[in-house]
């Protein structure tokens, strides 16, 4: 048997090569991702924070005792106000007032927002939604990092606001317009006060008015389904506006939002965890943004692409038809073996 040279021997089918256009898209996406990460800017942020971290922690530790004492003093006043409120509406169902005048109106706004959100989702592409959702998480993480970095100042501002609300509520109790204190106390004052709560308080303090939070007071109203919009579109079903690809985004751990009375011994660790959450959110946004920029699916981009395609439609039709080969036989000719 004759041995064929290697270059003439039969070969197995070679695997298909990657399209150069696909490679171009991958390289572009990677460049976009690197640019979106802004590593130089991130390093500058980190360097600046590290340089001032020790001083920040020391300053917070020095201010913490006075801030905590102010919070505890306010808590005593709030407990007294709570007792006064329970006696301020004899023979009245104050929870019904809350349900009608506060919960119902807040729920109405929620339903209006739901309509707007559904319309927005109907008009956005999957990658666009993923980028928008990642941006929202990044902005929230950045805001929380800024707040935690200025925790003492934020607590001081919140305590001052609390003092003002306590004064306002005291001046309104037992007056003809006292019903408004239900809103001021349960929906403004108490949530702000609880948001600052230190971790080391007693269970009595921790669970004070726990069944009278805005969510608890409005539970029945909030559970009602929003009326459907007439002729509404059906928004995509991917969760929270993210593309349905497992592992595409890393979900950072949910952290308590600053400002709050973090114990001085735990403040540095809390700062660093907040920094980690910020970095994770920024990295996720860079990935989502680069994917969107590499293959934009928003209405403006799709419209622009459609305009280009429409302009080329005539030429593309002519080019396609020009490739068709005419039949060599005339219209009256036919094969002899098909003649009748």
pLDDT tens readout for residues 25-54: 778 777 777 777 777 887 888 888 888 899
**Cα Rg, the chain, nearest whole Å:** 32
**CA-to-CA distance for 41 and 328, rounded, in angstroms?**
68
60 pLDDT more than 90: yes
Confidence category of residue 3, pLDDT binned at 50, 70, 90: low
pLDDT at 245: 33
Asked if residue 149 lies in contact with residue 61, where contact means CB atoms within 8 angstroms, the answer is no
Cβ contacts of 172-177, under 8 Å, gap ≥ 24: 173/81, 173/84, 173/85, 173/88, 174/88
> N- to C-terminal Cα distance for the chain?
53
pLDDT at 255: 77
Q: Is 197 helix (H, G, I), strand (E, B) or coil?
A: coil
Segment 295-334, tens digit of pLDDT: 999 999 999 999 999 999 999 999 999 988 777 666 666 5
Which of 130-144, 218-232, 233-247, 294-308 shows the lowest mean pLDDT across its residues? 233-247
Cis amide linkage into residue 259, ω under 30° from 0: yes
| Closest to 263 (Cα-Cα) out of 188, 155, 146 | 155
**CA-to-CA distance for 312 and 129, rounded, in angstroms?**
30
**CA-to-CA distance for 154 and 148, rounded, in angstroms?**
8
Segment 135-177, tens digit of pLDDT: 999 999 999 999 999 999 999 999 999 999 999 999 999 898 8
Place of tokens 């993210």: 242
240 pLDDT more than 60: no
Other beta carbons within 10 angstroms of residue 2's beta carbon come to 3
Confidence category of residue 111, pLDDT binned at 50, 70, 90: very high
Cβ contacts of 69-72, under 8 Å, gap ≥ 24: 70/159, 71/155, 71/159, 71/193, 71/196, 71/197, 71/198, 71/261
**CA-to-CA distance for 196 and 289, rounded, in angstroms?**
35
């Amino acid at each position: 048997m004759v041995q064929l040279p290697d270059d003439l021997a039969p070969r197995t089918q070679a695997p298909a090569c990657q399209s150069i256009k696909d490679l171009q898209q991958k390289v572009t996406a990677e460049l976009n991702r690197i640019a979106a990460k802004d590593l130089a800017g991130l390093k500058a942020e980190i360097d600046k924070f590290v340089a001032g971290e020790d001083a920040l922690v020391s300053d917070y530790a020095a201010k913490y005792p006075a801030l905590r004492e102010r919070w505890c003093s306010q808590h005593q006043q709030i407990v007294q106000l709570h007792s006064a409120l329970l006696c301020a509406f004899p023979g009245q169902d104050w929870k019904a007032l809350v349900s009608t005048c506060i919960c119902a109106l807040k729920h109405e706004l929620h339903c209006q927002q739901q309509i707007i959100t559904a319309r927005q989702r109907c008009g956005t592409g999957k990658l666009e939604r993923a980028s928008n959702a990642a941006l929202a998480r990044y902005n929230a993480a950045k805001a929380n990092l800024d707040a935690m970095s200025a925790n003492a100042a934020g607590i001081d501002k919140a305590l001052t606001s609390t003092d003002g609300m306590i004064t306002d509520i005291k001046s309104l109790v037992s007056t003809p317009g006292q019903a408004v204190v239900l809103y001021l106390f349960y929906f403004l004052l108490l949530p702000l006060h609880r948001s600052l709560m230190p971790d080391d308080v007693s269970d009595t303090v921790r669970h004070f008015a726990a069944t009278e939070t805005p969510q608890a007071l409005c539970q029945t109203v909030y559970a009602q389904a929003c009326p459907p919009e007439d002729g509404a579109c059906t928004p995509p079903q991917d969760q929270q506006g993210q593309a349905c690809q497992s592992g595409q985004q890393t979900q950072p751990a949910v952290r308590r939002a600053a400002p709050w009375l973090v114990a001085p011994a735990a403040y540095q660790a809390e700062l660093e965890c907040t920094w980690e959450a910020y970095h994770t959110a920024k990295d996720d946004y860079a990935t989502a943004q680069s994917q969107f920029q590499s293959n934009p699916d928003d209405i403006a981009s799709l419209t622009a692409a459609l305009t280009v395609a429409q302009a080329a439609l005539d030429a593309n039709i002519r080019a396609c038809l020009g490739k068709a080969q005419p039949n060599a036989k005339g219209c009256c000719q036919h094969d002899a073996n098909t003649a009748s």
